[in-house]
Structure 1
Amino acid sequence: MERSRIAVAGASGLIGGALVQSLAADGHEVIRLVRRAPRAEGEVRWDPERKYVDTAGLAGCDAVVNLAGANVGSRRWTEAYKAKLRSGRVLGTAALAEAMAAMEPEARPRVFVNGSAIGYYGETGERTVDESAPPGEGFLPSLVVEWEGAAAPAREAGVRTVFPRTGLVVARHGGAWGRLFPLFKAGVGGRMGDGRQYWSFVSLHDEVAAIRHLIDRDDLSGPFNVTAPHPLTNREITEAMGRVLHRPTLFAVPAPVLRAVLGEMAGDVLGSQRVLPKRLLESGFTFVFPEIEGAIRAAAE
């Protein structure tokens, strides 16, 4: 990728922070979208709830990457929190898409990479799914459909629009794995429920590399599953965590306990999603950590 000017919303999050660091290390100019008055060079104001974006700050950007939104797994899904999850993603996406559509054609970014999630597919059991599969049923699938749909103004204005549907990111800090690592290191990690549910994971390194691949390739648009090629069951992942961290994995959290503690969100933990990155592989992307043990070791270093 030639030196580019790239705007990132959600730059302080797990994936956004790693992406910004990777881009800056390679000499790209990163513009951070912030929800307050800019305090430093390279910051641009936006207010997703009010659908406001300082479009002057986006002028000259080659790409806009939207990774903003409240953490899906950070707390119990109350009706208020589900509304926050929905508004943060849908309104934020709409704000950026409408802002780009309103810009003069010559000033518009050439690509809009709008973060998405494999929650689109809902429960898949042992069945493998790729990008050709329809959305599932429930809160997360409906959220993702609305989330991706909010990007329509940018796409209709001629901005190449891509949706990286991300799986469970293997990282030491942040996301689901950020809470698993301390438990396993303490020797109290174990399978969740019966452990037969599939978890579609991706290393943080490969997540960032995939987003950069989608930015760089002018021939790619639409949804791309960003998950390692070999999804595994929760039991298999639990065993791999134990091997890599040299800890026992004797504990298990029964499904009823998870439902009591997590409420509706337990369905996401106990649900099975066997998702394949078909389009990403077809585009020539190569995973550095295609297997779970390598992904865990990379995160643990």
Structure 2
Amino acid sequence: MEPREARKPAGPWTVVMAGASGLIGGALAGSLEADGHRVVRLVRREPHGPGEVRWAPASGRLDPAVLDGCDAVVNLAGAGVGDRRWTEAYKREIRDSRVLGTTALAGAVAAAGRPPEVFLNGSAIGYYGETGDRPVDESAPPGRGFLPELSVEWEAAAAPARDAGVRTVLARTGLVVARQGGAWGRLFPLFRAGLGGRLGDGRQYWSFVALRDEVAALRHLLFSPGLEGPFNVTAPSPATNREVTAAMARVLRRPAVFAVPAPVLRAVLGGMSQDVLGSARVLPARLLESGFAFSCPDVESAVRSALRD
């Protein structure tokens, strides 16, 4: 397929965004505003100015008038999967923060008098569950377990927008390589202190994406009118945990001699341990077919990018 250029908007867009205070949302909002687009942030507290609108995602409803006339709606909201131990209560919070918020936004998109051109909804490669060393792309079925079941429900909640004729994109994001947060935000201080090392046996695949490529991919999906449905937002070369450990050691020039046994991780992290011990070898087939080019296609370039940004 011939590469397609992302559409260059004729003028500034108005983008309504949920989750703009998070790692990915903050970077995307900043990138859009730097190019002259207007970002309206949905917040759960009292608004601090005209660029913020209060909403209550737990209600599952949002006044459609909030979205009337905007060009795009982006939903990247959700409680952090790795922020706390997975108690039953926190698993409910992880689920509700995604499914109820998406339900509210998709319903409002469908009911808006002048609906947006595109609804871009976050999702995750957790959709595929454990894949071992078997590569999977967007054609693969969902896996089993909490994260795959959550991802299926999360994506299904976006259906009202699609059914109303609004171009709907599902961005299945991998592990974001950044110093500011996420899994890698915890790895950098450990490796700088010389305490980094492999997790478990180190053979599990981590499907990662540099933060700058994450933002560029989301913009590509926003501004390319022919793109809809699920897209894996991961670098084209998933790396094993051993390869990640070696790359971090090389770039930071620190030894990586420590290893955390799998039983210890399971005892400390509970259900969340599957996020670091599980193996997901996910490929961005549809993103590559659409003409998107990664600036950081391998783990070492992604780590170096994180140190520069």
| TM-score range relative to shorter protein | over 0.9
User: Which residue does 2:162 correspond to in 1?
Assistant: 155
User: Does the Cα contact within 8 Å between 1:126 and 1:198 map onto a contact in 2?
Assistant: yes
SS of structure 2 residue aligned to 1:228: coil
1:175 to 170, 174, 182: 182
Deviation by residue 1:124-176 (Cα, 9 ceiling, x = unmatched): 00000000000000000000000000011111111111001000000001100
User: Which residue does 2:35 correspond to in 1?
Assistant: 26
Q: Does 1:99 align with 2:96?
A: no
Could you tell me which runs of 5 or more consecutive residues in structure 2 were left unpaired when the two chains were aligned.
1-7
Aligned positions, number: 299
Deviation at 1:279, TM superposition (A): 0.1
The letter of the residue matching 2:122 is G
Could you tell me which runs of 5 or more consecutive residues in structure 1 were left unpaired when the two chains were aligned.
none
2:210 to 203, 206, 230: 203
User: Which residue does 2:82 correspond to in 1?
Assistant: 73
Q: Distance in 2 between matches of 1:103 and 1:221?
A: 20
SS of structure 2 residue aligned to 1:53: coil
Deviation at 1:267, TM superposition (A): 1.5
Q: How does 1:104-183 map to 2 (within 5 A)?
A: 104=113, 107-183=114-190
Q: Distance in 2 between matches of 1:258 and 1:64?
A: 38
SS of structure 1 residue aligned to 2:41: strand
The letter of the residue matching 2:180 is H
Q: How does 1:1-16 map to 2 (within 5 A)?
A: 1-2=8-9, 3-16=12-25
User: Which residue does 1:36 correspond to in 2?
Assistant: 45
RMSD across aligned positions (CA): 0.8
User: Does the Cα contact within 8 Å between 2:67 and 2:108 map onto a contact in 1?
Assistant: no
User: Which residue does 1:51 correspond to in 2?
Assistant: 60
Deviation at 1:36, TM superposition (A): 2.4
Runs (4+) of structure 1 moved beyond 4 Å?
Answer: none
The letter of the residue matching 1:255 is A
1:248 to 240, 255, 260: 255
User: Does the Cα contact within 8 Å between 1:45 and 1:53 map onto a contact in 2?
Assistant: no
The letter of the residue matching 2:62 is V
User: Which residue does 1:267 correspond to in 2?
Assistant: 274
Q: Distance in 2 between matches of 1:60 and 1:156?
A: 19
User: Which residue does 1:85 correspond to in 2?
Assistant: 94
SS of structure 2 residue aligned to 1:115: strand
Deviation at 1:56, TM superposition (A): 2.4
TM-score, length of structure 1 as denominator length:
0.98
Identity of aligned residues (%): 71
The letter of the residue matching 1:163 is L
User: Does the Cα contact within 8 Å between 2:20 and 2:41 map onto a contact in 1?
Assistant: yes
TM-score, length of structure 2 as denominator length:
0.95
SS of structure 1 residue aligned to 2:216: helix
The letter of the residue matching 1:87 is D
User: Which residue does 2:306 correspond to in 1?
Assistant: 299
Q: Distance in 2 between matches of 1:132 and 1:273?
A: 15
Deviation at 1:55, TM superposition (A): 2.7
